[in-house]
Structure 1
């Protein structure tokens, strides 16, 4: 009989998933998942987008109830009915979208639900003191009274970890924890995770970044299509190729698959562009059929530059020439009408309409071009176009009517690309197009980018992944502190030169 009464497991207890199955309407998300994560270890969960990793973590966190199977911590068989139930049993799941309240203070977030009080009134002095204790040794520089929304993403993540510690969590799961962190923040997180492991906790670690998995993890379990594939327990004997082949079921010898192509006339010329985040005049161009990489460290101004080009931010100065013609892209509507289209960095916040269907997300921008008469949707065209883009981009979805929020990150990204492929396009702006996407889906995204370039589209790709920007670009611009600091051809670019250009000039 399964236990439901709260009980905190010992730090030496292992975590087992026993025959876990989960189904949604039309989708079998997990099928008979069974494996063990040992105490005092970091256990990676890997697989392509849609493999079932996040679903498993949501079951662990009490957000989903499995249709079959159960969890086991030590010798306790468990079935969590709510997030509170999971927390009460010593489990903490730190999601990619952090479960914090940005409008509240750090202290309020840390102690939400169990704030110290006197005579029914919150004792703010005691709350701040307790919060400072929880942050000690983890994030001493964070002011407990600071508004959480004013902290960096890395600092907010540290607050989430401190919150888990306040609840004496012995099983801690991290879901893509480094996807939006700077290199310094990632290094700090690695140290903290190693410390948590050395304290005897069970650490689950979901990531698509191979270098992190091989650096921090003691074991890795691979999923594919909602099924358990295998577990590797000796990371020293495991190669990247072995792991990739196990994940995708095929060899991916050159994930970038770069191929040179003929380039045409200048598609977009940028002259003296200034605006929020771009503090020195930006001057560059991109040609038809060219893939222009844009590299820089966090805060370099790359995203801000793309937002100026896409009409999402007002420029303070400068000129844009599109195919030789002076254009004023003062709003996203202006940019879309001109054929300058942006896939934003935060696809969940700015790219997709979560509750709408895959078809709706694909057709939403092109709809007005195909209406039979003003205001009337052309349902025939919309059905046909959605199916065309789903097939062409290999978007994995049970149907075009599936809410896009239930798709994996890679398939959401492909649906956004399908939206712009439904429109006349001259320049495509891609901001971190493969962030949080598995290696197989990355290869498909790169293929789409190359195909677009071969069709004469000018493509600008922002990436904080150094190998990615070198792997897919014909030419690379580097930014630092809001300024373009260098330009390198593909054959000139190497890691050392790019990083040197990307470092703040005071440190060069």
Structure 2
């Protein structure tokens, strides 16, 4: 098998040191051409650091890069691009005010005579790439008008436009629907057949087994396993990742579900151009209950969460917390009445990347550390340290910028920020997006503990296994409407059927 897949790039004895942390410790990694090279590990294991080194974004402290047998140094991203390396980062690097086509060719615009940008050629080439990805996206529309999953498709299109011989995909499916994932897999198969070397990073272990040819596992910056994917199963991956068996993600804590703590009636959010993103939705949540909202991309789950927290003051509907109607639409008022939201897109909506981890954690609860006009930094720091420990956030220092953390640890900071407001109702939109198996276990554990303390939890997810495992009750949405309500004994087939757009006959098993 290895003879069919020659090594196109190697990393040897790689060491990367940041202030206060050693991200890579003597790592050796090979990228084989015409194959999918899977890289897996918990958040903070060093995967993204290793990929940034290969992409020319970071330089090694020690070690070397070898391309086609020749030692090479990537001083910047341009050096890596010239060597034929393209990358799709886990966190999107796009410009919302530019068009889709401008984002796809940013920094590499086709020109006439090397002077004037050839916008027609740029648009047509973008359209061809989007058709290849089976997307009906207008290349001339502003990128900011697209939903998150479509923006991730544009990020992939941006990498494909480079005609890279080595393509790095860092969590490429984290915001994609199941249909979009299948399209991506077809494109990967096409690229592999053309001899492109693909590095694929994902926390969805089933995906890795399905499409991978070779696997390398990192743990705490060190390699703990590398081999052909033949014969690899999920238990082997988990053992190599975390040094033990998978944890019980959804172990219940026995407790009584209390009275109603939240109710929404007739929530309606109109779309620009007609129709509804949220179509007259009503729901309730009880103290100590975990209410799951399951639906496919575009079902209206995120928009419903945003309406509840007050992000869309133009939306219609009534909201009640412990029987008291909320009269004001501001986000600050909703937080003051005990509602907190952990948004789907932590980078854009959940955190301020340039601010310290401590500052992000306490951002929504500064009044707890303030007397008149004085902010007690010592009290703030102590409280932040408590949540860093409680959520097991891997940090070198709470004063480091939150952008220095891995994606999973940033998600934990976003959750900690919400919990610091002492919510009565906690909203979680795709809480495990971009999270590894270990981090998922910790977040699920926190959710169970919070529900046992009497907090009403409403979480939205597009992963059916997550919805079935965690929810005390499941509401299914499609096309902005509720299409089914199910209890713990519901069958997966019934829940999935209710999520299909246009299906309005799902059996109600928990009225």
Contact 2:109 2:122 in 1 (8 A): no
Shift of residue 370, structure 1, vs aligned partner? 2.9
Distance in 2 separating the partners of 1:313 and 1:301:
13
Distance in 1 separating the partners of 2:133 and 2:388:
45
Distance in 2 separating the partners of 1:68 and 1:155:
38
Q: Deviations over 1:144-164 (max 9, x none)?
A: 544444455555555544544
Unpaired segments ≥5 residues, structure 2 = 271-275, 506-511
Task: Specify the alignment match of 1:415 in structure 2.
Answer: 413
Contact 1:273 1:315 in 2 (8 A): no
Shift of residue 377, structure 1, vs aligned partner? 0.5
Task: Specify the alignment match of 1:21 in structure 2.
Answer: 15
Q: How many pairs were matched up?
A: 495
Task: Specify the alignment match of 2:508 in structure 1.
Answer: none
Contact 1:341 1:429 in 2 (8 A): yes
Residue 402 (structure 1) aligned with residue 397 (structure 2): no
Contact 2:268 2:317 in 1 (8 A): yes
Shift of residue 274, structure 1, vs aligned partner? 2.0
Residue 382 (structure 1) aligned with residue 377 (structure 2): no
Distance in 2 separating the partners of 1:391 and 1:231:
32
Task: Specify the alignment match of 1:281 in structure 2.
Answer: 280
Task: Specify the alignment match of 1:56 in structure 2.
Answer: 50
Shift of residue 30, structure 1, vs aligned partner? 0.8
Task: Specify the alignment match of 1:431 in structure 2.
Answer: 429
Task: Specify the alignment match of 1:226 in structure 2.
Answer: 221
Residue 249 (structure 1) aligned with residue 248 (structure 2): no
The match for 1:41 among 35, 45, 61 is 35
Task: Specify the alignment match of 2:500 in structure 1.
Answer: 503
Task: Specify the alignment match of 2:255 in structure 1.
Answer: 261
Residue 66 (structure 1) aligned with residue 60 (structure 2): yes
The match for 2:88 among 89, 94, 97 is 94
Shift of residue 15, structure 1, vs aligned partner? 1.9
SS in 2 for 1:55: helix
Shift of residue 365, structure 1, vs aligned partner? 2.0
What are the within-5 Å matches in structure 2 for residues 78-477 of structure 1?
Answer: 78-111=72-105, 112-118=107-113, 120-131=115-126, 137-138=132-133, 141-151=136-146, 153=148, 156-235=151-230, 237-276=231-270, 277-314=276-313, 316-371=315-370, 373-477=371-475
Shift of residue 51, structure 1, vs aligned partner? 0.4
**1:143/1:463 CA distance change after superposition, 3 Å:** closer
Unpaired segments ≥5 residues, structure 1 = 1-10
SS in 2 for 1:14: strand
Task: Specify the alignment match of 1:3 in structure 2.
Answer: none
Contact 2:483 2:503 in 1 (8 A): no
Task: Specify the alignment match of 2:273 in structure 1.
Answer: none
Task: Specify the alignment match of 1:6 in structure 2.
Answer: none
Q: Deviations over 1:337-380 (max 9, x none)?
A: 00111111111111112122121112222221332x31210123
Shift of residue 82, structure 1, vs aligned partner? 0.6
Shift of residue 284, structure 1, vs aligned partner? 1.9
Shift of residue 107, structure 1, vs aligned partner? 4.2
Distance in 1 separating the partners of 2:123 and 2:151:
17
Shift of residue 423, structure 1, vs aligned partner? 2.6
Contact 2:302 2:460 in 1 (8 A): yes
Task: Specify the alignment match of 2:509 in structure 1.
Answer: none
TM-score of the superposition, structure 2-length normalised? 0.91
Q: Deviations over 1:404-461 (max 9, x none)?
A: 1111222222222322333332111111111000000000000000000111111001
Contact 1:108 1:115 in 2 (8 A): no
Distance in 1 separating the partners of 2:174 and 2:128:
28
Cα RMSD of the aligned pairs, angstroms, is 2.3
SS in 1 for 2:10: strand
SS in 2 for 1:35: strand
Contact 1:15 1:202 in 2 (8 A): no
Shift of residue 241, structure 1, vs aligned partner? 1.2
SS in 2 for 1:505: coil
Q: Deviations over 1:152-182 (max 9, x none)?
A: 5555555544544443311100011011111
SS in 2 for 1:262: coil
Contact 1:12 1:201 in 2 (8 A): no
Q: Deviations over 1:6-28 (max 9, x none)?
A: xxxxx955221111111111111
Contact 2:109 2:118 in 1 (8 A): no
**1:188/1:154 CA distance change after superposition, 3 Å:** farther
Shift of residue 470, structure 1, vs aligned partner? 0.7
Contact 2:306 2:312 in 1 (8 A): yes
**1:321/1:218 CA distance change after superposition, 3 Å:** same
TM-score of the superposition, structure 1-length normalised? 0.91
Distance in 2 separating the partners of 1:419 and 1:286:
22
